[in-house]
A and B are shown apart, each in its own frame.
Chain A
Amino acid sequence: MMLAVFTLVMVLSIAAAAAARFGIKNLDIDHMLVAGRSMPAFMVFILAVGEVYSIGSILAFPAGIYAKGMESAYWYMGYLLLAYPFAYFTAPLIWRAANRHKALTVPEVFGRHFESRALEVVMSVGALIAVATWGQFQFVGIQVALTELGLGLSPIGLIGAAACLAFIYVGLAGVKGSAFVACIKDAAMMLGIVAVGVAAIWSMWGAPAEPLTVTMPQSHLTMGLPAITFAISTILFQGFGLYLQPSVSPFIFTGRSEAAVKSATVFMPLYLVMLPFGAFVALYALTALPGVENANRIFLDVAHDLLPPWLVGFVIAGACLAGILVLSVNALNCAAIVTRNLVPNIPATAQRRWTRLTIAVFLIVAAALTLVVPKLMVSVLNFSNYIAIQFGAGWLAIFFGRRVSATSVGLGLVVGVVVAVVLFATDANVGGVNVGLVAFVANLAITFGLGRVVPVTTLRRPVALATKPLAA
Chain B
Amino acid sequence: MYRLPTMLIGMGVPIFLVVIVPPFLNDANLTWAGIPVLLLWMFFCIPAVALCLIVCWYCFDRRHYQAAEEDRP
Contacts and interface: CB of A to CB of B under 8 A. Distances in A.
A461 to B, nearest CB: 14
Contacts of B36: 69-70, 216, 221-222
A215 B28 CA distance: 12
A425 B67 CA distance: 51
A258 interface: yes
A265 B33 CA distance: 34
A156 to B, nearest CB: 40
Interface string A209-240: 00101111010011100001000100110000
A77 B11 contact: no
A471 B68 CA distance: 6
A81 B45 contact: yes
Contact of B19 (A205, A236, A270, A275): A236
A265 B65 CA distance: 14
A247 to B, nearest CB: 23
Prevailing SS type, chain A contact patch: helix
Nearest to A76: B42
A78 B33 contact: no
A86 B35 contact: no
Contact of B68 (A235, A276, A470): A470
Contacts of A472: 72
Given A88-B56, A221-B28, A464-B1, A74 B64 contact: no
A270 B39 CA distance: 17
A232 B19 contact: yes
A235 B53 contact: no
A86 B27 CA distance: 29
A88 B52 CA distance: 11
B64 A468 contact: yes
Contact of A89 (B11, B22, B66, B69): B11
Contact of B65 (A211, A228, A258, A268): A258
A283 interface: yes
Contacts of B46: 77, 81, 269-270, 272-273, 275-276
A432 interface: no
Given A88-B53, A88-B56, A269-B46, A78 B64 contact: no
A266 B28 contact: no
Interface string B42-57: 1101110110111011
Given A70-B26, A222-B27, A78 B42 contact: yes
B38 A74 contact: yes
B62 to A, nearest CB: 7
16 contacts: A70-B26, A73-B39, A82-B49, A85-B52, A222-B26, A223-B26, A232-B23, A258-B65, A259-B65, A259-B66, A262-B57, A262-B61, A275-B43, A283-B34, A469-B68, A471-B72
